[in-house]
Structure 1
Amino acid sequence: MVNNYVLVLTNGYWVIMGIWWFIFQQPRPGPPLPKGESYLTIGWKQIWLACKQYKQLPYTFIYLFAFFLLADGLNTTGTLVSICQNDKFSFSFLQNTCLGLSQAITSTLSTFGFWYVQRYFKIPTKKMFVVTNVVTILIPFWGMLGIWTDKIGFHNVWEFWMYNIIFGLFQAPYYAFSQTMMAELTPPGFDNMFFGLFGLSNRASSMIGPNVIQAIIDSSGSNWMGFPFLFALCVCASIVIWFFIDVEKGRRDAVRWAEGVRRKNVSGADG
């Protein structure tokens, strides 16, 4: 009964605080829909057109592939850690709330902190992203240790506190820098097209990873046996990002491609 009252309270909070957006939000019409197109299909057509440019934008598509793997590993790692937590402990509503708050507070602090460090020392986006990649690898590695010992590897209460704090400190900047990397490798003026593909790669990974992990857990009988796969996945994705993506060349390719498309469109209109 108490949980039902809590649900009423939290949902009432969202309704009271969110309804004003619908009342005061001003209309922001975008460009008109091209003739002969449909709102149901134009997004998919844009994604398909973007995919066809992989030869001209190699670094952009290498990054999209690596991000797909990395997002798969990170998203599924979070799910698996939650499963291990529920398997070992029955945290109360208050304890889960405090865990979430610890992650939220550290996420806010770290996002501003990483931004300040990057701006002060003028560090390129890729190097900042690499730092977050290292922690992304270490989280499933830590869980993997729990296969061989009960002393560490998500077998203790303190480890779940540590996980939420570490996740907040490094994975919130991960999301920020992953999008900044995509922005640097996106042809200027074609943001909707390529960020649509970027968003799709993130969502698709969230459907594949959990199914693979579930098959591993069903076969082995242990939740912790899923961590080696996630560790390998994150390592492979990070290696691709670290050694096979040249952001400067990728940015030049993107600008060159965008200028070529514009010239083609202008010449076609003149004809």
Structure 2
Amino acid sequence: MTWISYVGFAWKSLWRTIKVAVQLRQAVVFLLAWFLLSDAIATVSGTAILFAKTELNMPTPAVAGVSVIATLSGIAGAFSWPIISRRFGLRSNQIILCCIMLFEIIPLYGLLGFIPVVRRWGVGGLQQSWEIFPLAFVHGFVMGGLSSFCRSFFGVLIPPGSEAAFYALYAVTDKGSSVIGPAIVGRILDSTGEIRSAFWFLAVLILLPAPMVWYVDAEKGREDAVKMADRMRKDSDDVSARRAGLEEAEEEDCLMSGNDR
């Protein structure tokens, strides 16, 4: 069937891309960091909605308002982070680290609810429903920076001419990580009966990719990518030359056979 052929071709192409990618250390480290970071993003988003519905007893229109605020602040972040980068002379990986540190505010603020003094106040640590709206702004603002700078930073590490294949791998890494964090949060909820306990896990999960992002050397990654592109081009030329030689030999054999007759 045709669709089976398409699916098979897609998986073969992805596998070829993976075999090339594993030879690029900087790209591999960044993909691992992005895997963890995208998992953290998906887990925080899902946990926030669940927390709003179960712990804060927010109605559906209020939860929708949280999503609207996050979306609008995401647009603001997409425009603001490049300005911040130029203003302070920050590189792409430094902006990503800034976003991670700002993102860490969300679970840390939720953990304040475990402090007895804060609990007695009755406000702070996400004890009141209105507290989730500023955090929604932070979430969206961070996403506006991460979505653009992570993609552009990864583009530096891609061998020229292989952008489509590598961005497909980037997308697979993004979508493939969206189940691990939520599954662990679900396990924590089943064990403790309190979703606030999951903030400990979220705080660690958000910080995990930070050392990897810091480790990635964009200049070294760009050099490796260019060398890999040259190597791939040379291998392709060698294959084409061998194929042309075989075709020429076959033509000569046909001519010789014809002359013998």
Alignment TM class, shorter chain as reference: 0.7 to 0.9
Identity %: 25
The one-letter code sitting in structure 2 at the alignment partner of 1:129 is: I
Give the 3 Å change call, closer, same or farther, for CA 153–127 of structure 1 in structure 2.
Answer: same
CA distance in structure 1 between the partners assigned to 2:206 and 2:107 by the alignment? 8
Q: Tell me if structure 2 keeps the 8 A contact 1:114–1:173.
A: yes
Q: Distance in 2 between matches of 1:184 and 1:44?
A: 24
Measure the CA separation in 1 of the matches of 2:177 and 2:126.
Answer: 24
Cα-to-partner distance string for 1:134-193 (whole Å, 9 max, x where unaligned):
122222222233234534222222321111111122222111111112111111111122
**C-alpha distance in 1, partners of 2:193/2:237?**
61
Residues 97-136 of structure 1 mapped to structure 2, 5 A cutoff: 97-119=64-86, 122-136=89-103
Report the 3-state secondary structure (helix = DSSP H, G, I; strand = E; otherwise coil) of the residue aligned with 2:231: helix
- Please say if residues 81 and 154 of structure 1, whose CA atoms lie closer than 8 Å, have aligned partners that are also in contact: no
- CA offsets 1:201-244 (integer angstroms, 9 cap, x no match): 111111121111101110111101111112112212112212x2
User: What corresponds to 2:254 in structure 1?
Assistant: none
Confirm or deny that 1:58 pairs with 2:25: yes
- Which range moves more in the overlay, 168-177 or 245-254? 168-177
> Of residues 166, 170, 182 in structure 1, which corresponds to 2:154?
182
Once the two structures are superposed, what CA deviation does each residue of 1:7-45 show, in whole Å capped at 9, x if it has no partner?
xxxxxxxxxxxxxxxxxxxxxxxxxxxxxx932122221
Secondary structure, aligned partner of 1:248: helix
1:79 matched residue in structure 2: 46
SS of the residue aligned with 1:40? helix
Match of 1:213 in 2: 185
Q: CA deviation at 1:54?
A: 4.6
1:62 Cα offset (Å): 0.7
State the distance in 1 between where 2:90 and 2:99 align. 14
Report the Cα distance in structure 2 between the residues aligned to 1:99 and 1:211, rounded to whole angstroms: 23
SS in structure 1 of the partner of residue 6 of structure 2: coil
Match of 1:228 in 2: 200
Which aligned pairs between 1:139-218 and structure 2 lie closer than 5 A? 139-149=106-116, 150=119, 151-218=123-190
CA contact (8 A) 1:85 1:154 kept: no
Partner of 1:34: none
State the alpha-carbon separation in 2 of the partners of residues 100 and 233 from structure 1: 22
Matched position secondary structure for 1:146: helix
Matched, 1:252 2:217: no
Query: d(CA) in 1 for partners of 2:58 and 2:205?
Result: 30
Letter in 2 for 1:196: A
Displacement, 1:118? 2.7
How far, CA to CA, are the matches of 2:99 and 2:9 in structure 1? 35
Deviation digits for residues 111-151 of structure 1, max 9, x if unmatched? 11212333455532111111111122222222233234534
Paired residues of 1:73 and 1:230 also in contact (CA < 8 A): yes
Map of 1:22 onto structure 2: none
Contact 2:76-2:144 within 8 A present in 1 as well:
no
Amino acid in structure 2 at the alignment position of 1:127:
Q
- Distance, in Å, in 1 between the alignment partners of 2:113 and 2:94 is 30
Q: Is the 8 A contact 2:53 2:59 kept in 1?
A: no
Gaps of 5+ in 2: 243-261
State whether structure 2 residue 10 is matched by structure 1 residue 39. no
Say how many residue pairs are matched: 234
Q: Which amino acid aligns with 1:248?
A: E
**Structure 2 SS opposite 1:189:** coil
Distance 1:249 1:101, change over 3 A: same
Matched residues in 2 for 1:200 and 1:113: separation? 28
- Worse-matched range after superposition: 161-170 or 151-160: 151-160
Residues 77/96 of structure 1: CA separation in 2 closer, same or farther (3 Å cut): closer
Higher helix share: 2
Q: One-letter code of the match for 1:43?
A: A
